[in-house]
Structure 1
Amino acid sequence: MNGRSEFGEAGKLNGKARIAAMGDLHVKEHGSPSLKDLFTEISQAADILVLTGDLTDLGKPKEAEILAADLRSCTIPIVAVLGNHDYECGCVEEIGRIFKNAGVQLLEGQAVEIKGVGFAGVKGFAGGFGRHMLGSFGEPAIKAMVAESVEETMRLENALRQVRSERAMVVLHYAPIQETVVGEPQEIYPFLGSSRLAETIDRFPVKAVVHGHAHRGTYEGRTPGGAPVYNVASHIEKPTGRPYALLEL
């Protein structure tokens, strides 16, 4: 896998898939610019589009409908996970249906294979990194937070067990490593992701990991086991110079 390679007809001939990945679109009910032209551009540059959550700003069905309408200009397969903002209004099932009806392969602990690439996806959750990772101790609220982090990790493991392709990509919203959240205030690191996700990823032969959530983070890093990780939040500067990254698997 080469996250910085050139993409042209050679990519098609050598059997590799070109994946455009981006997250944190934060589509609003009023005032968001149309993304139709961007999705048309992506359709010409890549074989698959991956969206890493926070597709809507407040989790409103109307926001999802606006994005779904723009996604009609995308002519390649779309894989996505939801983010924390997509849960804000308590309409997550409805917005999930809207995206699925628009042809989006929405991953919520499942896996799907497209063009020979196996995608395993979950939202993920907070919890912190390394020796600063939150433990299940003390008040019930803290234990509930850790339990949610563990549950999302188990859902990721179940999804990865479903992958049969030798080319596997993990799709998350929350970060699995600290390296790609660097740039954010250190005080909020525990709310940006969890090392538990990386621990699970490193038990499988994963070729690449993409996530969002950390708008001021860092584009590229690696899990302790060496899997490349890319923060593809639309706000992050990328080698393409565009809001999306281009990766080749």
Structure 2
Amino acid sequence: MADRTGSLKVAAIGDLHVKEEGQTSYRDLFGEISREADVLVLAGDLTDLGTAREAEILAEELRACAIPVVGVLGNHDYESGTPEEVCRILRQTGMRLLEGQSVEIEGVGFVGVKGFVGGFGRFTLGAFGEAAIKALVAESQHEAMRLENAMRHVASRRALVVLHYAPVAATVQGEPPEIFPFLGSSRLAETIDRFEVGAVVHGHAHRGTFEGRTPGGVPVYNVAIQIPKPNGRPYALLEL
């Protein structure tokens, strides 16, 4: 696990979109990650349609992973209306699925929520007008509050925040600007900047940009599998 300096190597990847038929096997990739890292982080959209069968396929693939696995769900994992079943199946593998919780591994606190939409900076959507808009903003605020509550339980001075939706606009650059409000929310970054955080990982924006920072300077990495990484692999390697 962690080396004698106390650092922990984390491999992070998102948006696997495991399908019932015709999916690419991740078994070899998980085996490689087990040799390269101490912990694997999965940043949501683990399945394509959120079905139990897709979760079972991923659970079987994860058997090739010999290191701890931490992750969050993404919007695709809710598509079939059974996210609880997806969670149940994946947790049977030993995976720590975080839904507003934290877990400490080798001195590093992993904190996770899915996050939600809402937009960034001065373009963040406000709770005004129709009930549907107010409900959307309330959900965005709720996810930020879940993140804050989880951060308050982190004892470690080193923390990695795991999201699916982006907390900053920088890592969604490359996507059509018209859909930026649906790719994440600055409310998440505002919460993150109130705590001591080493880094943030997220997915969701398949055509986004690998690296950005919160207004407070915390590094943010878009680890969707579709995003080119500096190491040339489908996953990012971070050292905490």
Q: TM-score of the superposition, structure 2-length normalised?
A: 0.99
Q: Which amino acid aligns with 1:141?
A: A
Superposition pairs of residues 74-89 of structure 1, within 5 angstroms: 74-89=65-80
Matches within 5 A, 1:1-249: 12-249=3-240
What secondary structure does 2:3 align onto? helix
Count how many residue pairs are aligned between Structure 1 and Structure 2.
240
Q: Give the Cα separation in 1 of the matches to 2:83 and 2:145.
A: 21
The DSSP-based 3-state class of the residue aligned with 1:214 is coil
CA distances 1:25-49 after superposition (whole Å, capped 9, x unpaired) = 0000000011110000000000000
SS of alignment partner, residue 162 of structure 1: coil
Structure 2: how far apart are the matches of 1:99 and 1:151? 24
Q: Secondary structure of 2:29's partner?
A: helix
Hey, which bits of structure 1, 4+ residues long, moved more than 3 A? none
Q: Secondary structure at the match of 2:24?
A: coil
Give 1:109's aligned amino acid.
G
Q: What displacement does 1:14 show?
A: 1.3
**Aligned with 1:210: secondary structure?**
strand
Quote how far apart the aligned CAs of 1:13 are: 2.5
Question: In the aligned structure 2, how far is the partner of 1:211 from the partner of 1:159?
Answer: 17
| Whole-angstrom CA distance in 2 between matches of 1:162 and 1:121 | 12
TM-score, structure 1 as length reference: 0.95
CA distance in 2, matches of 1:152, 1:99: 22
Q: Deviations over 1:95-133 (max 9, x none)?
A: 100010111000000000001100110000000000000
Work out the CA distance in 2 between the residues paired with 1:67 and 1:172: 19
What 5-or-longer segments of structure 1 have no aligned partner? 1-8
Percent identity reads 70
Deviations 1:176-221 (A, max 9, x none): 0000000000000000000000000000010000000000000000
Query: Could you tell me how far apart the structure 1 residues matched to 2:47 and 2:59 are?
Result: 11
CA distance in 1, matches of 2:49, 2:230: 29
Deviation string 1:3-30 (CA, Å, 9 cap, x unpaired) is xxxxxx9x72311000000000000000
3-state SS, counterpart of residue 13 of structure 1? coil
Rounded Cα–Cα distance in structure 1 between residues aligned with 2:103 and 2:44 = 17
